[in-house]
Chain A
Amino acid sequence: MSRRPDPANLRQQAFLRAAAVLWQFAPDALQPDSDDRSAAGEVASLLPFVVRIRTAGGDRWTLRDTLRPELLRGADTSELARLRARNPTTDSREQQRVDRWLAGPDAELAAYDCEALAILSRILTWFDPVPPHFPSIDRLDRLRALARVREPLLELAGRGIRGRTHELGQLHGFVAGTPGAGAPAILVVHGIGGVGKSTLTAQFLLDVLASGDPSHLVAYLDFDHPTLDVNDGLTLMFEILRQGATQLPEHACLRDLVRRASQATVDLSAGRGRAPGRALAVRASMAELAASCGQAFKAAGAAKLTLVLDTLEEPQYANPDHQRQLGEQLGIFHAHLPGLHTIVISRAPLALPGAQQLELTDLDDAAARQFLGDHGVRDEAVVRSALQAARGNPFSLKLATRALESSAAEPPLEVTDRGDGAARRPVGDHGVHDDALVRTAEPSNVDRHAALEHALVHGQLYQRILAHVHEAEIRQLAHPGLVVRRVTAPLLQHVLAEPCGLGMIDADRADELFAGLAREVALVRVADVGALEHRADVRRVMLRLMYRDRPAIARRIHEQAADYHRDRHDDVAIVEEAYHRLALGETFGPWLVRLTQAAAQRLVTALDELPEAAWPIVATCAGIELSPERRQAVQTAALERDLAQQARELLRGDHAESALALLERTRPSGGSSVLWRWRGRALRGVGRLAEALVALERSLAALAGPAVEAREDLALALALAGALGDTDSLARLEPGRSPGAAAARGSAGSPRAAGAYPGSVRPTPDEPMTRAPSPAQWLDDQDLRAVLEAAIDHAEPEADAEPRDAALDGSVAAAPRSTRAASAYAKAVTLNRRVVDNDKYKDTGPDLFDWVDALSKSHRDLDAIRGSLKSRLSPK
């Protein structure tokens, strides 16, 4: 509803002239082309002549383009500069581009991206006639079309790639080669999400485009885009044609073909296709279009076409028949398109006829270091830390650098004197500290590394892997269900469903979920009839992240899976039971007796997933030699166990300082080191609670170890997390307890299942071979009231009674008196949560839970807590 300005209104004209050279302006900041400054509200008279533009700084106005030619007619560069000087402070990225072209041509035009070209296109409309230094509309159109081809590739390539020289060479070699007669040239590039498949291929295509060879066309098709359908080859063919025509803009035959194909598409959708059925019409049209396209490409001088099909897991998920259909489509393409070489990018390997395979794995150490260096990460300690956490996965490295950047930008770690001598970690810190970092304990390093770990869990695990899972329930199954290597519908029903938060399910539901999981080709592959195997490359990345994120549930699944397979006697069950037992740190038992050499050999590829203590067992049973590196690691683990034994004795004698001094002399060898457990307990003993929590979480994430000790670790970690107010830790340790955290992670774990701590852990050789009670038994066997009352008693600063809960005693007794209140309070929280899960207390539980939960924000008035709790527990 724009009107024309009034030429007689000189004041309005002055505002309009000033606005005519501005890309946008803040309404209250615009100054007119006059020496009389703008008065308040005066600019409102421009309302009919402006359009609103949204910017990061809020709404801005921009003058309607149709008004500008008249306002700028006859203005030379000096006049334009004079007008511009009326509002010198108005600046933006777009305005800089405007200023550049108001002054004259820009030699960098050919390198403009889509955004810059769009800005220039708009500026062009401001003038009539257009000044001679502006490019013609035709040239702008051509530049824009080429930029559109480059744009997605530049986005993917980012700052370029590091390493991958060999892989890039393979791509060039593949495209340079001549396909055999009748055999289409297809290369499948596969690898886990984030390993850099698309980046590598985009860089390759950019290299091809940069070579400037007009006879070599490229086409990049991303199946994540809704316009592409593997079942509808016409959609693929049309996009190939469109991108090819864009690269050869001077050839009218291609433009004409695009126009005709567009019209045919519209006609077909309107039921004006020549064939009676749509599928038939599409098929016929596709072959026809491919033939026409091939002829047009040849006529335009194109001798080679490199076609990249990205994100093929999407059609693989949506269409079980994708492989055959893709094969058909490619067959037609290769029959018609000149010099076609197809590169297919997929998370899962894809067996297309005659296709070569290129598996992309992690970057090597040098390339990963270069990558980090490109992002400004050069400090050796930080580099090592990042490499240890992210390994060589480029996406993980990118997440790591971002986390490091953001943690560097944040204020230093808040060190609050809580009276417990511990540095307070920021809320939300998921940190499991790097061994070296814990030793130096520099707050900034600790903070930085914690941010790094947090970023990896949430970026790599949740966004890159789990976010690609299509259904919420399957996502729940994947995390932490990927703890098992092999899934069947019965195993899904009896082992995974409940820990994964799906509750009790029947066989039919298990079949449905199994079918849903089978479609997630990026996660699983079909092992044999009725069985799926989680992809090893995905597990390699996910396992360690899952252990950090869901240690208690991961452990529980291992235990239940081991028990499930124990009662079965086929080869698979024997191997899988052994796998789960070994993962839990068990080194002997009836399962070992039935582990044959053939069965053990099937565990060799899983050594990296198992603790060091398992390696010699597997090697001996499988009849293989461990590598020198592994032998060294086994020896180190044995030494650490000795050291841990010494620390344990010191702690039993209440010599926490000495135990810590002993442990700090030896750096834990890795994530699964047994030293984390004792480091955590020693740190707690000297009152360094935040660091103790970190170490205990690390210990839990390693999974291996006696059940009793693991249970104690969990109880202690929960108590510490409660005392420190670390809600993230609480949610991680007892997922499902925190609705917010569960929702954020796509997990709706059953509180009952998620909160129950395992009881069926097979102890290690130095522990008696007993079976721990189930969670329900555990609660039933104890006098809950007494436990709760004890917890409250310990909440009193003056309390000196011995704690009655063996599992939690350390959290109170070993802490300095001043910290007992906080620890005991956390204990009450923990106990209360157990109450909620127990049917026996179902009437008072939720009420009690609410009560304690409300108090979790502040535990200043412990007397009130005590009184209230005791009154609630007293017999009515």
Chain B
Amino acid sequence: MPYAPPQEVDAFVGFLVSFPLIDQAFLDSWFSTFAPSYRSTLEDLPAVLPRLRAAFTRFNTDPPFDGGAIPLVIALEFLVTNQASSVIVDRAKQLLSHIKISEPGQEPTVPVVFKELRLTGAGLFADRDSLRDKLIRMSGDDGPPAVIINGARDVGKTYTRKLVAHVSQKTLAFRFAWVEIEQEQAATYTADWLIEELVRSAVPGAEGIPARREPVKRWLGDLATWAIKQLATLGSDRPLWMVIDGIRHPGLPREVCAVVERLASVVATPTGVLPLRLVLIDCDPVDILRTGCMAEEESVGHLTVKDAEGFLQKVLDPITFPARWPGVQAILAATAAPTTTDVCAAMRSALA
């Protein structure tokens, strides 16, 4: 299986190690996110570099879901989500975008992979059948151009990005660009920040983002145009999915929402240059629908005990499940109204 070229991985490791913030504490934090089985192979952290290289090397040769692939993806995801610095994030995203799990045109197909429960490097993805169906339909020619995912805090909306990434990486049926606005960033977020992060997640090093100008509404149009132009450089052989997370944070400047609406408007009016799809996580559907973009909304709730049961039945063998399910039930019974976090913790205990 072709994965990221070894020289790219080596260069990335060298880059990380040369970065001033990559010190022992950072690596400790990083490795703490690895699966225990993998971490146990790293006996001595002070001698981390050779082992790191070894892990990445293994990643290049091992089959999917075993050995090094998952650690690398976890590691990269960690870098991206912890957002230590823009430079590291860009490089990590770049490497992530190169990871290939299977060749184009080969099985498994998009509908099959969208139904999978184990995600590349991101663990498990439970339930959400309705959401999966909407995403599958969006991948078709006749499907909606956009899906909006809403729900209460901590129900697991953001995890959808990992599902989309998984399908993109495994099937190569579409390309994938994403950006997440965190609550802490919202008040000072800007339209060009969003566009730049979005574009650079797929086109690392993209330059020339239009400078702010008056009137702002024209500048927003410039940004959307620039984004599409940059993303089109990837090729138009596959659609490009844009995942934008966190547009509903209170205090998010209007210009940020406005530039997302511009993107929605572009998605709704196919030009033939680049087939686009939009996944909006935490977003007012009315604003998007009013752009003419016929998005479908999916409201997700907290995972339930029933979800956990169905999921564990699928991933555990028929002997293990009856043995472990009562433990899960006991954990969840102790909580009056289990949240997604509670259910996930209980499921993890059953899978440990």
Contacts and interface: CB of A to CB of B under 8 A. Distances in A.
A235 B291 CA distance: 9
B26 A47 contact: yes
B20 A41 contact: yes
A348 to B, nearest CB: 19
Interface in B176-201: 182-188, 190, 193
A154 interface: no
A94 B33 contact: no
B35 interface: no
B253 A115 contact: yes
A125 to B, nearest CB: 8
Interface of A: 1, 27, 41-42, 44-45, 47-48, 51-55, 59, 62-65, 94, 114-115, 117-119, 121-122, 125, 144, 148, 151-152, 155, 222, 224-229, 235, 238-239, 262, 265-266, 269-270, 463, 467
Given A54-B86, A59-B85, A224-B217, A45 B185 contact: no
B184 A262 contact: no
B286 A266 contact: yes
B217 A225 contact: yes
Contacts of B29: 45, 47-48
A45 B25 contact: yes
B216 A155 contact: yes
B76 to A, nearest CB: 12
B251 interface: yes
Given A1-B77, A152-B254, A269-B296, 11 more contacts: A53-B188, A54-B190, A55-B188, A62-B184, A65-B184, A118-B250, A121-B250, A224-B217, A226-B265, A266-B289, A269-B294
Contact of B184 (A64, A224, A228, A229): A64
Contact of A222 (B25, B217, B252, B292): B217
A118 B252 CA distance: 7
A1 B294 contact: no
A266 B184 contact: no
12 contacts: A1-B33, A41-B20, A48-B82, A59-B86, A114-B253, A119-B251, A225-B217, A226-B262, A227-B261, A229-B290, A239-B290, A262-B284
A228 B83 CA distance: 36
B264 interface: yes
B251 A122 contact: yes
A266 B265 contact: no
Interface in B260-318: 261-262, 264-265, 284-287, 289-292, 294-297
A229 B292 contact: yes
Contact of A44 (B21, B187, B292): B21
Contacts of B287: 227
Contact of A53 (B20, B77, B185, B262): B185
A226 B261 contact: yes
Contacts of B253: 114-115, 118
Contacts of A52: 83-86, 89, 185
A152 B83 CA distance: 33
B302 to A, nearest CB: 18
Given A53-B188, A226-B265, A266-B297, A44 B86 contact: no
A226 B85 contact: no
Given A118-B187, A122-B187, A226-B261, A41 B21 contact: yes
A227 B294 CA distance: 12
Nearest to A141: B250
A42 B23 CA distance: 9
Contact of A1 (B81, B183, B186, B265): B81
Nearest to A263: B286
Interface string B17-37: 000110101100100010000
- Classify chain B's interface size: 35 or more
B258 interface: yes
Tell me if A's interface is mostly helix, strand, loop or mixed. Answer: helix
B46 to A, nearest CB: 15
A225 B264 CA distance: 12
B254 A122 contact: no
Contact of A235 (B20, B265, B285, B290): B290
A50 to B, nearest CB: 8
Contacts of B215: 155
A225 B83 CA distance: 32
A52 B88 CA distance: 12
A51 B21 contact: no
A263 to B, nearest CB: 9
Contacts, number: 127
Contact of A265 (B184, B187, B213, B290): B290
A48 B78 CA distance: 9
A270 B147 CA distance: 11
B82 A47 contact: yes
B187 A121 contact: yes
A118 B251 contact: yes
A551 to B, nearest CB: 28
A269 B78 contact: no
Given A115-B187, A235-B290, A262-B286, A44 B26 contact: yes
Q: 9 smallest A-B Cβ distances: which pairs?
A: A118-B251, A226-B265, A227-B290, A52-B83, A118-B187, A51-B184, A226-B291, A45-B25, A262-B286
Contact of A27 (B21, B184, B294): B21
Contact of B264 (A54, A119, A222, A226): A226
B292 A226 contact: yes
A262 B218 CA distance: 27
Nearest to B196: A54
Nearest to A158: B214
B219 to A, nearest CB: 11
Contacts of B262: 226
Given A44-B26, A226-B265, A467 B218 contact: yes
B80 to A, nearest CB: 10
A121 B187 CA distance: 9
Nearest to A52: B83
Interface in B228-264: 250-254, 258, 261-262, 264
A51 B29 CA distance: 15
A55 B296 CA distance: 35
Contacts of B33: 1
B273 to A, nearest CB: 15
Given A1-B33, A41-B20, A119-B251, A266 B285 contact: yes
A117 B216 contact: no
Contacts of B294: 269
A52 to B, nearest CB: 4
Contacts of B264: 226
Nearest to A123: B187
A269 to B, nearest CB: 5
Contacts of A115: 187, 253
A122 B86 contact: no
A775 B343 CA distance: 82
A1 B78 contact: yes
A272 to B, nearest CB: 11
Given A1-B33, A47-B82, A235-B290, A122 B261 contact: no
Contacts of B251: 117-119, 121-122, 144
A53 B26 contact: no
Nearest to B289: A269
A238 B253 CA distance: 21
B258 A225 contact: yes
Contacts of B81: 1
A114 B184 contact: no
A547 B128 CA distance: 64
Task: Tell me which of A44, A63, A121 has the highest count of chain B C-beta atoms within 10 A of its own C-beta.
Answer: A44
Contacts of A53: 184-185, 188
Interface in B46-104: 77-78, 81-86, 89
Contacts of A235: 290
B184 A238 contact: no
Task: Tell me which of B184, B185, B216, B296 has the highest count of chain A C-beta atoms within 10 A of its own C-beta.
Answer: B184
Contacts of B258: 225
Contacts of B185: 51-53, 62
